Amino acid sequence: MIARTRDKMVSFTKPFVLAGVDHALPAGEYRVKTDEELIEGISFPVYRRVATMIFVPAQTQRGAIEMVAIDPAVLQAALDRDAEGAATAAPGPKV
């Protein structure tokens, strides 16, 4: 089995909550890691996602980071809510 890992950074402009994390998370940048494995037997390379994790500040120990498994759809929904809030909070043109 051939596997690969992809890393990306996501940004939140305000505090947020994620399923699977038992505390609110502060605004900021977060590392997201996605593990994928090659589907064999196909004439071209295709990967399927096997796990997605986000690195968040641990609540128990100052400065510690914990890796939490997360559903990518839940993460995207949280990012969408954050973007909607940022768009509605932006000041409009002065009249």
Domain ranges for the chain: 3-87
Strand order in the sheet with 28-38: 3-12, 28-38, 47-57, 65-69
Kindly report which listed range (12-16, 34-38, 39-43) carries the lowest average pLDDT score: 39-43
Provide, rounded to the nearest whole percent, the portion of the chain with pLDDT above 70.
89
Confidence of residue 85 (pLDDT cuts 50, 70, 90): confident
Q: Report if pTM > 0.85.
A: no
Q: Six-digit token pair at 24?
A: 């609110």
Pairing verdict, β 28-38 and 65-69: unpaired
